[in-house]
Chains A and B, each alone.
Chain A
Amino acid sequence: MEYVINGTDLRKRFKGFTLDIPRLQIPQGFATALIGENGAGKTTLMNLLAGIRLDYQGKIQYFRENAGIDDEGVRERIGYTGPGNYYLPHWTVNQVKEVNELLFQRFDPAVFKRLCRELAIPADPGKEVKTLSDGNRTKLMLAGVLARDTELLILEEPASPLDPLMRDKLCEMIREYLVSREGLRTVFFSTHNVADMENVTDYAIIMEQGCIVEQGFVEDLKEKYVLVKGEEQFARQAGPLLVSQTRSRMGFEGICLAERLDRLAGMQVAVEAPTLSQICVAVMKAHSRLQF
């Protein structure tokens, strides 16, 4: 397995919060999702990886050459989109194109134009970025990075501002991106919309309170955990054996480590394969400070 990002001993301290990741590896050729509660540290980590924040401890190396983000060749191969003002508010759509042309050698204005049309971004080239909706701004950023010939996309919350149809389109674009240089291109995105993005997530990293609490290929996670459902009378007994549990008067439901399933013998539980979304919620719940 090749990794496009190798992070070692990453640490960033804020008041009341510490990001602490001894080891971070993003597998090459796949789409990796970064999932976690608000305040878990996703944005901080994305900013470190995208080179937006440089004041941290530890080491981040990119691609096979193990180069740093200060390497111009590395930046040329990475595309980043995020919720911040990456494009200045008074820029026009046309200026966005010109700035990209100036900044990146491998930016193709013809592809950018085609993508703007394909994504139904307001055609008026004089339209300013600040007058665009959140959704259209996100689409404009996606068009900007996809018009470049890159090997790694770092997308912070790309799905959040998008409508359901455009989320579907986003998934399609990610799959298309991964196909085009079979096995060479990688996508790393953070999301709260786990269910919408599940069919385009190969590897999942779950963060809580500045740490990675679970990670793995989705198919492996789906074998590691099982979804169990049972009658109310066994709820109390089953509780401590589960990663997390929800109870009602009608019964209980929870996620259980597959290797511990035999301890539920005799409790007449029904077993199902969990979705990624169910696994994430269970793992997050087990580590959360939220009270249920």
Chain B
Amino acid sequence: MVLLQNSGVPIYQQIADQLKEEILSGKRKEGEYLPSIRGLARDLKISVITTMKAYELLAEEGLVTAVQGKGFYVNAQDSEMLREQHLRRVEDALGEAIRAARIAGLSNQELTETLQALLDVQKTE
């Protein structure tokens, strides 16, 4: 795991993002326990509370479950939820595209045409 001190992204967020990636990609399997909170804090040379916040974030998103006294295990990633996660990513990226289009003064028509053109390029590739 690589953490950047001055990236502007809080450390707990960086930890949560990287673990999330590992869970969604299947690198961390269902039922597997995440490293203990204090163990991870030691290994990453950060405070316990920062790791804890990262784990709580993952629990809020439903990716892991906390078990009193045992730690956090990876939840079953049902396909519905995975799809939901990926969909949210697509929406975020398209939202970004829409904002850029507004700044550039593109009409909705031009924007959808651009998307279509890109899709066509991908198809022929």
Interface residues of A (CB under 8 A from B): 29-31, 171-172, 175-176, 178-179, 182-183, 198-203, 217-219, 222, 273
CB A19 to nearest CB in B, in angstroms, measures: 27
Inter-chain contact A182/B36, CB cutoff 8 Å: yes
Inter-chain contact B45/A30, CB cutoff 8 Å: no
- Name B39's closest neighbour in chain A (CB-CB): A179
Interface residues of B (CB under 8 A from A): 10, 12, 36-39, 41-42, 45-50, 53, 69
- Name B42's closest neighbour in chain A (CB-CB): A175
Inter-chain contact A219/B38, CB cutoff 8 Å: no
- Name A179's closest neighbour in chain B (CB-CB): B38
Inter-chain contact B49/A203, CB cutoff 8 Å: yes
- Name A197's closest neighbour in chain B (CB-CB): B47
When A182-B36, A183-B38, A219-B12 are in contact, do A202 and B49 touch as well, CB less than 8 Å?
Answer: yes
Give Cα A31–Cα B48 distance, bound, in whole angstroms. 8
- Name B47's closest neighbour in chain A (CB-CB): A202
- Name A33's closest neighbour in chain B (CB-CB): B47
When A175-B38, A175-B41, A182-B38 are in contact, do A30 and B49 touch as well, CB less than 8 Å?
Answer: yes
Inter-chain contact A176/B46, CB cutoff 8 Å: no
26 A-B pairs whose Cβ atoms sit less than 8 Å apart in the complex: A29-B38, A29-B48, A31-B47, A31-B48, A171-B45, A172-B45, A175-B41, A175-B42, A175-B45, A178-B38, A179-B38, A179-B39, A179-B42, A182-B37, A182-B38, A183-B38, A199-B46, A200-B47, A203-B49, A217-B49, A218-B47, A218-B50, A219-B49, A219-B53, A222-B10, A273-B10
Give Cα A200–Cα B50 distance, bound, in whole angstroms. 10
Give Cα A31–Cα B46 distance, bound, in whole angstroms. 11
Inter-chain contact A201/B47, CB cutoff 8 Å: yes
Given contacts A171-B45, A199-B47, list 5 more A-B pairs with CB under 8 A.
A178-B38, A182-B38, A182-B39, A202-B47, A218-B47
- Name A201's closest neighbour in chain B (CB-CB): B47
B46 CB contacts on chain A under 8 angstroms = 199
Give the most central of B12, B37, B49, B69: most A CB within 10 Å: B49
CB A280 to nearest CB in B, in angstroms, measures: 15
Give the most central of B10, B38, B46, B53: most A CB within 10 Å: B38
B36 CB contacts on chain A under 8 angstroms = 179, 182
Give Cα A199–Cα B39 distance, bound, in whole angstroms. 14
CB B24 to nearest CB in A, in angstroms, measures: 24
Find A178's partner among B12, B48, B50 (CB 8 Å cutoff): B48
B49 CB contacts on chain A under 8 angstroms = 30, 202-203, 217-219
B37 CB contacts on chain A under 8 angstroms = 182-183
Give Cα A179–Cα B45 distance, bound, in whole angstroms. 12
Give Cα A273–Cα B37 distance, bound, in whole angstroms. 23
Inter-chain contact B48/A30, CB cutoff 8 Å: yes
Give Cα A182–Cα B12 distance, bound, in whole angstroms. 20
